Amino acid sequence: MKMPRAVRHSVRAAVPLAFLIASLTIAFYATAFVYQRTGRPSALVVQLVNTLLGMIIAVLFGVIAGVLFRLRSRGPFAPIIDALERIAKGDFSTRLDNRHAKHGAVGELVHTVNNMALKLDQMEKMRQEFISDVSHEIQSPLTSIRGFACALQQDNLSVEDRRHYLDIIAAESTRLSKLSANLLKLASLESEQVKFEPKPYRLDTQMRSLILACEPQWAGKRLEMDATLDEASITADEDLLSQVWINLIHNSIKYTPEGGCVRVDLHRRADRLEVSIADTGIGIALEDQPHIFERFYKADKSRRASEGGNGLGLSIAKKVVEMHGGSIAVQSQPGAGATFVVKLPA
């Protein structure tokens, strides 16, 4: 059945618009990927760059589509054109069968299209997972704040209940503030826009000061705090490394029951400095250990949520340590505590 002329004209008119939308979408993801590493400029600059890049991609798509259309009758290019059309519409799961095009220009083109689709698919999944994780982390404290704010509107509340609800609202607001600060810190670290100012200083002095600063926390739980700190100098960013030590020490205190022990060791090992922070806490399951440095990952979801964690602290620690050319790892058994080991160049 022949398509009516009016319909054919509508379809032809819609094709350039579809290419333009697809090009702007690709430009958005491409610039977002670049901004993660170089820093995000102003909204106006972002809009101008995305628009210009989208127009350039649209023109390139048009040229490529025109060339491929003329070669459509030559067999191997037909599935490539179909795949590009699907990718342009946002179907990044598209893959071409390269069993019959392993060699020559067609094989290279098939391989390139598959790689492009794979990378776009991975970026889209990462974007969706990140949005889902952030939404989940924000929703929990917002639900608590909204619920207890509504409860405060009751006229028959006692003074104790009212104070208790206000304390919860304040705690959840602090939790939101920490989440926002950690997200900004992690974004700046990943984009390498954070100020990095290494200088020589005494690492043992820094760690001794931080342990003493945490005394109200470990003394309040009647924990035994042992520290063996060799005299050691290091050239590093003192402020950034302090976030690593504070995070690891706080985690050890948080997950160690009353009367337990936290041990901090600093030793020089040949050409590196090795810091270990061990506790006698709840430990980490073996299946969780490969993932604990991932963003938003929570090995103990119920307990971490109740204590205000957001699963970003260890991600930040890992990024800071790697910026200094070091490594961080964990050794743990469920119920037998955990030991975090940080190795830094001496």
pLDDT at 305 over 50: no
pTM of the predicted model as reported, rounded to 2 decimal places: 0.53
pLDDT at 45 over 80: no
pLDDT at 154 over 80: yes
Closest by alpha carbon to 275, among 229, 324, 313?
Answer: 229
Closest by alpha carbon to 331, among 277, 295, 268, 258?
Answer: 277
R_g of the chain, CA atoms, integer Å: 27
Better pLDDT: 39 or 10: 39
Interatomic CA distance for residues 28 and 305, integer angstroms: 34
* pLDDT tens-digit series, residues 160-219: 888 888 888 888 887 777 777 767 766 667 666 667 788 999 999 999 999 988 888 888
Interatomic CA distance for residues 315 and 186, integer angstroms: 8
Q: How high is the pLDDT of residue 7? A: 46
> What value does the mean pLDDT take over residues 67-77?
57
Q: How high is the pLDDT of residue 276? A: 94
Closest by alpha carbon to 249, among 203, 215, 294, 297?
Answer: 215
Q: How high is the pLDDT of residue 301? A: 47
> What value does the mean pLDDT take over residues 287-297?
80
Strand partners, 274: 267, 343
Q: How high is the pLDDT of residue 303? A: 40
pLDDT at 71 over 60: no
Closest by alpha carbon to 22, among 81, 93, 88?
Answer: 88
Interatomic CA distance for residues 240 and 168, integer angstroms: 31
* pLDDT tens-digit series, residues 255-283: 899 989 999 999 998 889 999 999 998 88
Antiparallel, parallel or unpaired: β 224-229 and 261-269: parallel
Q: How high is the pLDDT of residue 248? A: 92
- 229: pLDDT confidence band, cut at 50, 70 and 90? very high
Interatomic CA distance for residues 94 and 132, integer angstroms: 24
> What value does the mean pLDDT take over residues 293-301?
65
* pLDDT tens-digit series, residues 235-256: 998 888 988 998 899 889 988 9
Average pLDDT, the chain: 76
Interatomic CA distance for residues 140 and 149, integer angstroms: 14
> What value does the mean pLDDT take over residues 47-51?
65
pLDDT at 15 over 80: no
> What value does the mean pLDDT take over residues 32-58?
65
Better pLDDT: 138 or 237: 237
pLDDT at 306 over 50: no
Q: How high is the pLDDT of residue 181? A: 72
